[in-house]
Amino acid sequence: MWGWYNGDAGIENMRRQKRKVEVVSWNIAPESISLVILAIIWVYSRKGSHIPTLKNRMFQGCLTVTFSAMLTNIISTVMIYRYETVPLWLTWTVTTIYFVLTPLMGLVYFLYSISVIYSEETAKNKIMGFGLIPGILYSVLILLNPITKNIFYIDEAQGYVRGSLIEVTYVVFYAYCAASIVTVLANRKRIDSKIYRILSTFPVLAVLVIIVQQFFPDIILSGSAATCAMLIIYLHLQNKQISMDYLTNVPNRQELLNMLSLTLNRHPETQFTLVVVSLREFRQINNVCGQNIGDEFLKAVCRFLCDLGKEGSVYRFNGDEFAVLFTEESDDLIRKYVRSIMKRMELPWTVGNYQFNLSAVIGIIRHKDVEDTLEHIINAIEYAVYQAKSGKNGQVCYCDEEVLRKLRRRQQLMQILKEKLDDRSFEMYYQPIYSVESGTFNYAESLTRMNDTPIGPVYPSEFIPIAEETGMIIDITYAVLDKVCAFVNGLMEEHIPIEAVHVNFPAVQFTQPDLEEKVMEIIRRNGTPPSAIKIEFTESTLAESTQAVTEFTLRMLEHGIKMGLDDFGTGYSNIATVINIPFGTVKLDKSLVWVSMENEKSALAVKNLSRTFKELGMKVVAEGVETEEQRKLVVDFGVDQIQGYFYAKPMPEEEMEEFMLQKDERYALKRA
């Protein structure tokens, strides 16, 4: 970028050599080789990003100007060397073009640097506008040179002769070099360190080339420096690997985001449709056949999508997801495209000796609103795919107003969850657990509620899945544990007897490397007896993280904390796994209670399970008990504890304290 302008010195040296009866020939071999290398870079760069961003256009401009300057440098040198035989008008023309282009290489590289550094259109346009002024004035000076002869002139008697203002060519070039260096240094903190290093490489190049040129004045090295600059830029900033997916050889997700961003910024009124095809359960193919065969299936699907649509419209959106961008196609054509995809997915896919039926879901969004942002569009299409995977809207989910309404509510809930987490303002409810033998309520389950929000009460069935998907459930669980410890301490201060409060832990909690330390830190900080906390998790958690759960259970027992298995009977774990883990309690899912009311065989099986768990030293809790008939049934099962609306609903802390104070009188008649 910085050090290749030395052509005039070469031309002047050429003139001197002619007068010395051509003792030494001008060596343009490095320039010629560099020109070939630059041509190769140019060809390969055409396979990269096709997005018409300013950065990409400026890179192509750099290539064009550099190639043209190097070519005219070579041709002009040869013509001046043979000025006696080559028509003077032709030598004048080529040399003038060379003088225009070579110093202006500094301009195009300066403009490229600006396009990389600045994203704000206003700042970018202002700097580029000022940057063009010296280049325009210089170009006018060169175009007037055939009349003024201030830069150079060529005649039959003397050949090439320097003009009085020849130094202007150096001043213009190095002024742009200096401007580029200053701009890069001034923006060091706002640009990526990698980009900074790349843009800072060229001053070193300039110095090296100038030094080498002084030792070898008969060798043209301007093209070598220019080619090195273009090669560095191509490899690190314009390489097609940056914008293309290495596996499928289609543009990647970032390229799609760049294209959408450019469209929204330049032409927000332009309508387009984005379709995302998501393969379902593709991981199974990798598990069965291996990664290599799985990659071949992905490439086969990608080829099908490319053959089906317009060239360049397919993008690798995620691992097993592809996006198709429609910019001019009609709705009928898009619907036909989607139908063709779903029809093809009904047929098996074959790769080598492997054949599988692949299923897919499709999310679709149409951009119509000029107020749409890139973030909104991506969130909407990902939510449409999520909805399609849930099966609530079929295999194809069009992001219509209803879906967008759900998405907006989802985003609202995410914001509310963040705020609740920041200020620890989750409401805690507690549901008493009845002990059959003693007729007391010395246990309770903690439950999180969000009744006070800007959009009204939100049920756990809605906000818990969102908390789990976003990962916020981890910190929410720690916050809940902290609140439960404070609640237990409050009961003890009031001399209200409580054995333990159950706290639910989600599956993702067991992925935390410092789970044990974090749990114990919260309990110790509150000064709560460890035995007053019982950690519960579901069967699905046990099935998903058997080893992690087992190890954590054993460590908690060392601290005096017992674990409980929640929702047993939902079908996620086998009995062998359960009996090998020292649980304190096992909760029978309400579905087991309800089905036992209607089926004697089911009732017998549940009764035997309860007996087995008790013989293994576990307490059995029946949850979801709402009627007298259900109460009698679970008592007959031999359960130790009962939880359900029959005895008490979940209630806030103050109400729970009042309940615990009056429990003996209120529930004496309901003891079995």
Residue-wise pLDDT tens digits, 490-534: 999 988 889 999 999 998 999 898 999 999 999 999 999 999 999
Residue the block writes with tokens 């897919």: 360
Q: Write the DSSP symbol of residue 510.
A: G
Whether the CA torsion 265, 266, 272, 274 is positive or negative: it is negative
**Predicted local confidence at residue 572, as pLDDT:** 63
- Rounded Cα distance between 23 and 209, Å, is 25
- Rounded Cα distance between 29 and 221, Å, is 9
- Rounded Cα distance between 109 and 232, Å, is 13
411 burial (CB, 10 Å; 0-12 / 13-18 / 19+) is middle
Two structure tokens written together for 451: 């009744």
Query: CA of 77: how far to CAs of 14, 437, 540, in Å?
Result: 8, 106, 78
**Predicted local confidence at residue 299, as pLDDT:** 94
**Predicted local confidence at residue 7, as pLDDT:** 45
Residue the block writes with tokens 């040296």: 13
**Predicted local confidence at residue 500, as pLDDT:** 94
**Range list of β-strands (E), 395-483:** 396-398, 427-435, 440-449
DSSP assignments along 110-131, one per residue: HHHHHHHH---HHHHHHHHHHH
- Collect the ranges in the chain with pLDDT lower than 70: 1-26, 48, 119-121, 202-204, 206-207, 210-211, 213-214, 217-218, 220, 222, 392-393, 571-574, 663-672
- Rounded Cα distance between 639 and 321, Å, is 49
Q: Write the DSSP symbol of residue 238.
A: I
Return the ∠ at Cα 295 (arms to 294 and 299), rounded to 5°.
120
**Predicted local confidence at residue 393, as pLDDT:** 61
